[in-house]
Amino acid sequence: MGITFRKETFRDDYTFRNSPEHIRRFPFPFNEDSYMYAVNIEPHVVGPKGSVLENLIDVDEHYVSEMQDRALVLAEDPLRCQSLPHMTLAGWDLLELLMEQQALGYPEHFTLERNGDRWRWINRPLGIDDTFTFGDTSTLPYGPMEYITRQSQGDFCILDQRDGNLWMDAGMVTTQADWSLDFDIGMNFFEWHAPVPLAHEKGIFTRALKFLTNIQQGKPARRLNWTMTINPRLDTSPENYHKWGPDRATVTPDNVGQKVHLRVELQSFWRLPRSNAIVFPIRCYLIKMDELVTQPKWARRLHRVIRDLPEELATYKGLTRYRPTLVEWLSKLDDGSPTSPGFGPD
Amino acid sequence: MSTGTTKLDVVVSDVVPVNELVTRFHFRRRDGGLLPTFSGGAHVVVEMRDGDRTRLNPYSLMGSPLDTREYTISIRRDDAGRGGSLFMHRQVKPGLEMVISYPVNLFSLDLRAKKHLMLAGGIGITPFMAQTSQLAGTGGNFELHYTCRTASLGTYADVLQQRYGNRVRLYHDDREERIDLDRLLSSQPLGTHLYVCGPAGMINWVRDRAASLGWPPETVHFEHFAAPQPGAPFDVELAVSGKTIQVGEQQSLLEAMEAAGVDPPYLCRGGVCGQCETNVISYEGKFIHNDHWLSDEDHKSGCKIMPCVSRFEGKSLILER
């Protein structure tokens, strides 16, 4: 039993694929035929079996390959992982959370043994078996945040809470949609959201901050965000823009199905117990158009969403260049019939 | 969506008189498991079932955050209060099953501080018990100045001096010992953060002196749970739920709403966290604002009230609840 981990790449030859089961569990982010910002935050509770919400920290068939891709990114650019000096305690909090959740959800792959401060962590997919002293950084090969986030899918931002604001004071960010931890480190909630269009006018960030600073221990919350990426590239960072930016000019009617990917972020928010910080995991899911349109409801709905997206949002999400080609391609799969309510496939 | 906390089913594992006014209560999980880890400065809300009345009072956790087998709180008996502390002192015995909230921290340490300077007054010592334990465990730099009425009412002064030696300074009112506050605040190294918990007068005095001496506001932290004050009964119309309720003399507006089946979100129940902020639709009379959440302009505007601690006197009050 357990997950069969795929061997695949997110660069160069791009062998990334979703299995048919993983296509059906994809967290499609549109529950209606149009899209606009909203404070779409809900409690992060366990969802249906077979969905990405079956466990609060999801591990899937891409786990091993994603961790290898992260290691490559870090080898080229160590500043993708940073933790300001006062955030070490929060790093231990995060290590505990991720070890506990992964061991709870996937006991065949992960085991955590706790004996007072003496902990043993077994990660079978990555071949790790380490014993260390909780709270003593010298007993791990990396700082606690880096150690555990080299073994956990998704990016992680740890936000210190003080002065009624949240501060981006630590993180591991290698699978990001065009933003930079190295640029944002030390910024507060309003500073790092400054580039987002429209949402400020709607007062969304003020309300979102009020909500986030009141997140309680044992009551995590979540939201979905989305964009699109050309080629299944996890590391679409500003630092590497020269490597992936030009790809957007390569979309043609013949390669849309293989090249264009919907990129969905499952963002969750957790209060950390010892540090009182908030951890913000940003888990990235990719699906290529050929895979997505195997679900006819998703094909129809995505066509309508992309076609009707306000221009500012299309620009911010970087879709402008290939949007007409994509809309034309999707339109052939939209017979105009109604779509059923809700996110899931029919 | 409500942002209240998850509840914990606990049993009272010990009740220990500390001095003539203060008693300590120990809680363990009913299922024998570990309690959630917490951070120094956190509180829990204790649910007290007193006949047909339910009281929900916040108390700081005072144990070490490193030990989650049990939680401990210390409660000062307030003979003139609304009865919560008297209930705890008189009715709560070992073995009693109770419900408490998950820990919430509205008085968190700023871990960037090069030094933590703590000022406690009376029972305001309790959050510092946990914070000093947390800092001592990680080699943190702190200094605690603790004012109490008499040596025998210096709750945990002996424990603290034993643990931390000359990092703890005591001041006894009956011996006319006073903190030389200006000198203390003027002689701190750069990067010091100031924390104060105690009676309202003390908090205001320390904040005022710190501001005058040029301390940046973000380095001054204070914990001030105002207990709801009793007052004359008043009627309130709740427009959303279509109910009219009376707030009793010993009851808070929030408690009266809850008794009527209306449940605004809350965390602190002491006028600090902002969760239960409620819009006023119309009123004829005057508000008695006791919170530390709304701005002075909000108080003057008559548009908002914090039902956990504030009251009303007058002809009519209609709220958006």
Residue-by-residue DSSP string for B147-197: EESSGGG-TTHHHHHHHHGGGEEEEEGGGT----HHHHHHTPPTTEEEEEE
Mean pLDDT of A111-130: 96
Q: Which residue of A has its CA nearest to B104?
A: A216
CB atoms < 10 A from the CB of B219, how many?
18
Whether the CB-CB separation of B115 and B131 falls below 8 Å is answered with no
Residue among A55, A259, A282 nearest A157 (CA): A282
Query: Residue A160: its chain B contacts at CB < 8 A?
Result: 111-112
Residue among B66, B125, B45, B140 nearest A273 (CA): B66
**A122-131 contacts at long range (C-beta below 8 A, 24 or more positions apart):** A123/A151, A125/A3, A125/A5, A125/A63, A125/A64, A126/A64, A126/A67, A126/A151
Mean pLDDT of A293-321: 94
Q: Which residues of chain B have pLDDT under 70?
A: 1-4, 225-226
Whether the CB-CB separation of A130 and A121 falls below 8 Å is answered with yes
Q: What is the pLDDT of residues A271-301, one digit of tens each?
A: 999 999 999 999 999 999 999 999 999 999 9
> Cβ B38–A273 below 8 Å, yes or no?
yes
- Smallest Cβ–Cβ distance between A162 and the set B104, B110, B274 belongs to B110
Return the ∠ at Cα B102 (arms to B99 and B103), rounded to 5°: 125
Lowest pLDDT segment from A43-47, A210-214, B200-204, B224-228: B224-228
A and B: number of Cβ contacts within 8 A: 70
- For B:182-221, CB contacts with A below 8 A are 218
Query: Residue A42: its chain B contacts at CB < 8 A?
Result: 1
How many residues make up chain A in this entry? 346
> Cβ A86–B112 below 8 Å, yes or no?
yes
Q: Which residue of A has its CA nearest to B138?
A: A135
> Cβ B102–A215 below 8 Å, yes or no?
no
**What are the backbone angles phi and psi of residue A165, rounded to the nearest 5°?**
-140, 170
Cα A132 from Cα B193, distance rounded (Å): 33
Mean pLDDT of A310-317: 90
CB atoms < 10 A from the CB of B114, how many?
12
Model pLDDT, residue A20: 95
- Smallest Cβ–Cβ distance between A275 and the set B3, B39, B137 belongs to B39
Residue A110: give the domain boundaries.
20-331
CB atoms < 10 A from the CB of A89, how many?
20
- Smallest Cβ–Cβ distance between B104 and the set A87, A216, A275 belongs to A216
Question: Which of helix, strand or coil describes residue B201?
Answer: helix
Residue showing tokens 């108080």: B299
Match domain B115-223 to its CATH number in 3.40.50.80, 3.40.50.740, 2.60.120.10, 3.30.420.10: 3.40.50.80
Cα A279 from Cα A272, distance rounded (Å): 7
Give the pair of three-digit tokens for residue A59. 């591990």
How far does chain B reach from its first CA to its final CA, in angstroms?
14
Tell me if residue A223 is catalytic. Answer: yes
The amino acid that residue B234 corresponds to is F
- Smallest Cβ–Cβ distance between A273 and the set B37, B112, B267 belongs to B37
Distance, C-alpha A91 to centroid of its chain: 19
Distance from the Cα of B3 to chain A's closest Cα (Å) equals: 7
The amino acid that residue A49 corresponds to is K
> Cβ A218–B111 below 8 Å, yes or no?
no
Cα A193 from Cα A83, distance rounded (Å): 20
> Per the domain annotation, does A340 fall within a domain?
no
Model pLDDT, residue B52: 82
Cα B256 from Cα B272, distance rounded (Å): 19
- Smallest Cβ–Cβ distance between B102 and the set A86, A214, A217 belongs to A217
| CATH class given for the domain over B7-105 | mainly beta
What is the rounded (10 degree) CA torsion for B235, B240, B241, B242?
60
* Reported confidence tier of residue A38, pLDDT bands at 50, 70, 90: low
Put simply, whether B34 touches A (Cβ < 8 Å) is no
- The residues, any chain, with a CB within 8 Å of residue B113's CB and separated by 6 or more, are B191, B192, B193, B219
Cα A304 from Cα A301, distance rounded (Å): 5
- For chain B, the C-alpha Rg in angstroms (whole number) is 20
- Smallest Cβ–Cβ distance between A275 and the set B36, B104, B111 belongs to B111
> Cβ A274–B105 below 8 Å, yes or no?
no
Give the pair of three-digit tokens for residue B69. 């087998």
> Per the domain annotation, does A346 fall within a domain?
no
* Reported confidence tier of residue A196, pLDDT bands at 50, 70, 90: confident
- The residues, any chain, with a CB within 8 Å of residue A77's CB and separated by 6 or more, are A239
> Per the domain annotation, does A11 fall within a domain?
no
Q: Does domain B234-319 have CATH number 3.10.20.30?
A: yes
Whether the CB-CB separation of B135 and B119 falls below 8 Å is answered with no
Half-sphere exposure of B104 (CA within 13 A, CB side): 29
Please indicate, yes or no, whether the overall pTM of this predicted structure exceeds 0.90.
no
Model pLDDT, residue A186: 96
Query: Residue A218: its chain B contacts at CB < 8 A?
Result: 5-6, 36, 102
Cα B142 from Cα B129, distance rounded (Å): 12
Q: Hey, where are the domains in chain B?
A: 7-105, 115-223, 234-319
The residues with which A222 forms a beta bridge, in sequence order, are A42, A268
Query: Residue B273: its chain A contacts at CB < 8 A?
Result: 214
Whether the CB-CB separation of B305 and B287 falls below 8 Å is answered with yes
Put simply, whether B38 touches A (Cβ < 8 Å) is yes
**Which position has the higher pLDDT, B272 or A316?**
A316
How many residues make up chain B in this entry? 321
> Per the domain annotation, does A344 fall within a domain?
no
Half-sphere exposure of A4 (CA within 13 A, CB side): 4
Distance from the Cα of B298 to chain A's closest Cα (Å) equals: 17
Q: Which residue of B has its CA nearest to A96?
A: B37
Model pLDDT, residue A69: 98
Complex ipTM value: 0.81
Model pLDDT, residue A39: 62
The residues with which B73 forms a beta bridge, in sequence order, are B25
Question: Which of helix, strand or coil describes residue A65?
Answer: helix
Cα A253 from Cα A255, distance rounded (Å): 6
Question: Which of helix, strand or coil describes residue A167?
Answer: strand
Return the ∠ at Cα B123 (arms to B120 and B129), rounded to 5°: 65
> Per the domain annotation, does A342 fall within a domain?
no
Provide, rounded to the nearest whole percent, the portion of chain B with pLDDT above 90. 81
The domain total for chain A is 1
Residue among B82, B63, B79 nearest B71 (CA): B63
Put simply, whether B112 touches A (Cβ < 8 Å) is yes
**What are the backbone angles phi and psi of residue B235, rounded to the nearest 5°?**
-100, 145
Of the candidates A6, A25, A114, A223, the residue annotated as catalytic is: A223
Cα A146 from Cα A117, distance rounded (Å): 19
Model pLDDT, residue B2: 37
> Cβ A218–B275 below 8 Å, yes or no?
no
